[in-house]
Amino acid sequence: MASALPTLLLVDDEAHALNAMRMALEDEFDCLTAPDAEAATRLMEENYVQVIFCDQRMPGRSGVEFLTEVRDRWPDVVRIIITGFTETNDMIAAINRAGIYQFLTKPWHPDHLLMTAKNATQLFRLNREHAQMSLEMRHLPRSMEAKLADQRRALREGLGFESVLRAPNSPMNAVIEQARQYASFDVPVLITGAPGTGKAALARAMHYASLRADRPFHEIDVTGVSDDILEVELFGARRGAVTGSPMSRIGLVQKADRGTLFLNGLHDLSPRMQLVLLRLATEGAWRPLGAHEMSRSDIRLIAGAGIDLRAEVAAGRFRSDLYYALARATLVVPPLAERPGDLGILAQSLLFDAARAHGKPVQGLSEDAIRFLEQYDWPGNLRELENEVTRMLIFSQDALLGPELISRHILQAVPGRAGSDPALDAVLTARGPLKTRVEEIEARILRETLTRLRWNKSRAAEELGLSRVGLRAKIDRYDIRAPGRAAQSEED
Q: Of 281, 313, 333, which one is at a domain's C-terminal end? A: 333
The answer to whether residues 193 and 308 belong to one domain is yes
The rounded Cα 135 to chain-centroid distance in angstroms is 36
**Across residues 56-69, what is the average pLDDT?**
87
The answer to whether residues 328 and 249 belong to one domain is yes
**pLDDT over 50 at 417, yes or no:** no
**Residue 420 within any structural domain of the chain:** yes
Could you tell me the CATH number of the domain that includes residue 104? 3.40.50.2300
**Across residues 199-219, what is the average pLDDT?**
89
The answer to whether residues 52 and 177 belong to one domain is no
Confidence (pLDDT) at 91: 59
Confidence (pLDDT) at 86: 55
201 sits in which H/E element: helix 199-208
* Percent of the chain clearing pLDDT 90 (strictly above): 35
**Residue 86 within any structural domain of the chain:** yes
**Residue 443 within any structural domain of the chain:** yes
pTM: 0.58
Nearest-angstrom CA–CA distance, 432 and 312: 39
User: With b meaning 16 or more CB within 10 Å and e meaning fewer, what string describes 415-447?
Assistant: eeebbbeebbeebeeeeeeeeebeebeebbebb
**pLDDT over 50 at 1, yes or no:** no
Range of the domain at 228: 172-333
**pLDDT over 60 at 23, yes or no:** yes
Domain count, the chain: 3
Instruction: Spell out where 158-294 has E strands.
Output: 189-192, 217-221, 260-264, 285-286
Q: Of 285, 314, 333, which one is at a domain's C-terminal end? A: 333
**pLDDT over 80 at 114, yes or no:** yes
**Residue 167 within any structural domain of the chain:** no
Confidence (pLDDT) at 293: 83
**Across residues 379-403, what is the average pLDDT?**
92
- Give the bridge partners for 289, in sequence order: 237
The answer to whether residues 419 and 375 belong to one domain is yes
Confidence at 238, pLDDT banded by 50, 70, 90: confident
Q: DSSP code of 108?
A: P
Confidence at 242, pLDDT banded by 50, 70, 90: confident
**Across residues 59-88, what is the average pLDDT?**
82
Give me the chain's average pLDDT, please: 82
The answer to whether residues 199 and 278 belong to one domain is yes
In this predicted structure, which of 57-61, 82-86, 212-216, 473-477 has the lowest mean pLDDT? 82-86
Nearest-angstrom CA–CA distance, 129 and 123: 10
> What does the DSSP assignment read for 316-383?
TSS-HHHHHHH-SEEEEPPPGGG-GGGHHHHHHHHHHHHHHHHT----EE-HHHHHHHHTS--TTHHH
Confidence (pLDDT) at 88: 55
Sign of CA dihedral 51, 56, 62, 65: positive
The answer to whether residues 85 and 30 belong to one domain is yes
The answer to whether residues 184 and 329 belong to one domain is yes
**Across residues 177-199, what is the average pLDDT?**
92
Confidence at 3, pLDDT banded by 50, 70, 90: very low
The answer to whether residues 353 and 395 belong to one domain is yes
**What's the burial of 92, exposed, middle or buried (CB within 10 Å: 0-12/13-18/19+)?**
exposed
**pLDDT over 90 at 291, yes or no:** no
Contact 264, 221 (CB under 8 A): yes
207 sits in which H/E element: helix 199-208
Confidence (pLDDT) at 21: 93
The answer to whether residues 221 and 311 belong to one domain is yes
Helix residue spans in 4-86 (DSSP H) = 15-25, 37-46, 63-73
Q: Of 333, 362, 383, which one is at a domain's C-terminal end? A: 333
Confidence at 213, pLDDT banded by 50, 70, 90: confident
Q: Please name which of 215, 223, 327, 319 lies closest in space to residue 271, comparing C-alpha atoms.
A: 319
The answer to whether residues 119 and 177 belong to one domain is no
In this predicted structure, which of 17-21, 54-58, 246-250, 254-258 has the lowest mean pLDDT? 246-250
**Residue 483 within any structural domain of the chain:** no
Could you tell me the CATH number of the domain that includes residue 181? 3.40.50.300
* Percent of the chain clearing pLDDT 70 (strictly above): 83
**Residue 388 within any structural domain of the chain:** yes
Bridge-based pairing of strands 260-264 and 217-221 is parallel
Confidence (pLDDT) at 138: 56
**Residue 487 within any structural domain of the chain:** no
The answer to whether residues 255 and 122 belong to one domain is no
More confident residue, 358 or 422: 358
Q: How many helices (H) and strands (E) does the chain have?
A: 21, 14
> What does the DSSP assignment read for 136-171?
HHTTS-TTHHHHHHHHHHHHHHHHHHHTS---TT-T
Could you tell me the CATH number of the domain that includes residue 393? 1.10.8.60
The answer to whether residues 37 and 151 belong to one domain is yes
**Residue 51 within any structural domain of the chain:** yes
